[in-house]
Amino acid sequence: MIKIIKDIEIYSPKYLGKKSIVIVNDKIEGVYDELEIPKNFINIEIIEGKDMYAFPGFIDAHVHLIGGGGEGGFKTRTPELQLSNLTRAGITTVNGCIGTDGVCRDMRALVAKVKALNEEGITATCYSGSYEIPVRTMIGSVKEDLMLVNEIIGVGEIALSDNRSSQPRLDQFINLVAESRVAGLLSNKSGIVNVHLGGGARRLNYLFEMLDETEIPATQVIPTHMNRTIELLDAGVEWIKRGGYIDLTTSSDLNNLEEGEMIASKALKYLLDKKLPIDRITFTSDGNGSMPLFDENGKLKELGICRVESLYEEVKKSILDEGIKIEDSLKTITSNVADLLKLKDKGRIEPKKDADIVIVNKADLSINKVIAMGKVVIENGIPIITGTFEKSIKESFE
């Protein structure tokens, strides 16, 4: 099946101007300045690109696909995500993780969910483990998980500087990163270690000590939740200067921001104002994790859920409110993530890449269509392909 997105302004994320995109099955065949479409071909679907932008499909590398939370007891466990939760947010590639509870949520359940999402039409991968060290793996060790399970691309989220951390020793942390790195090399995967940073005073101390004491490069670790406090963000500035990436979390309760916490769009502006390279910064949603909501007196009112929709919402804010260029903002959820995680077929609108494309309205940057692996899954903002056990969302919108 051939699809042609005709006369659309393309951000690859680099701005390419107005062109036409040819999709054949699940791949981008080419991007053309001019294209003569044969009139006697019946199996060509034309998508009109007037007044639209084409962006690469969004990559969310930190989502609790089988649920998260649970810190307030069993009733505070968040539910499993469904396909359209992701596609409505423009997410065509997702990476799953477990979080705090590595007992009642395990790697077999996570890998099964990842397989299900791949069968339903998007691209899904996952990390091995949860907050704790030693890592609770799927088949025996981190090295075995990465080398023998296709869906597993790294380890995480490992908690540091947090009261919920397993409080590992420095040597335990370094040994884990080393094992994951070697496993990644042997399996041609990133082997990245995703590190959850809490608000503790130690911040990135373990990461800097790893650089000082070993030959492991900074790119082997991605510290996340770096916009949690200004002190943590400033530590992230130094981490980038030493060659690393940092990740900003887009989910937040805007009415209950903790002192020093920045929303991702403002944190991005803060970092760029310091002349740091945009290519070293990523956004993730922490989607489906639990998020406490407090009243004006600081009393816990209810538990919310971190939203995958926040991923693109913060990108839009960075463009519309903070004045950051579209192609720079987009890198945080497309090419930067693809490069970091070694997702070679993702993150850019280029020939031979996977046909994952988000088409947005030029006027307000709202999502109009989403194409995942060559198939239109969102049309006019409404899901037309849903998960196996989802109710007809299209009918509820009508």
Cβ(250)–Cβ(264) below 8 Å: yes
Query: Which residues make Cβ contacts (< 8 Å) with residue 273, sequence separation at least 6?
Result: none
Please state, in angstroms and as integers, the Cα–Cα distance from residue 40 to each residue in 31, 37, 57, following that order: 22, 9, 31
Cβ(177)–Cβ(220) below 8 Å: yes
To the query of whether residue 106 is one of the catalytic residues in this protein, the response is: no
Q: Rounded distance, CA 323 to CA 331, Å?
A: 15
Q: Rounded distance, CA 63 to CA 372, Å?
A: 18
Please state, in angstroms and as integers, the Cα–Cα distance from residue 41 to each residue in 32, 45, 238, following that order: 19, 10, 56
Q: Rounded distance, CA 86 to CA 65, Å?
A: 10
* Catalytic-labelled residue, pool 286, 339, 354, 356: 286
Burial class of residue 376 in the structure, from the number of CB atoms within 10 Å of its CB (0-12 exposed, 13-18 middle, 19+ buried)? middle
- Supply the residues annotated as catalytic: 286
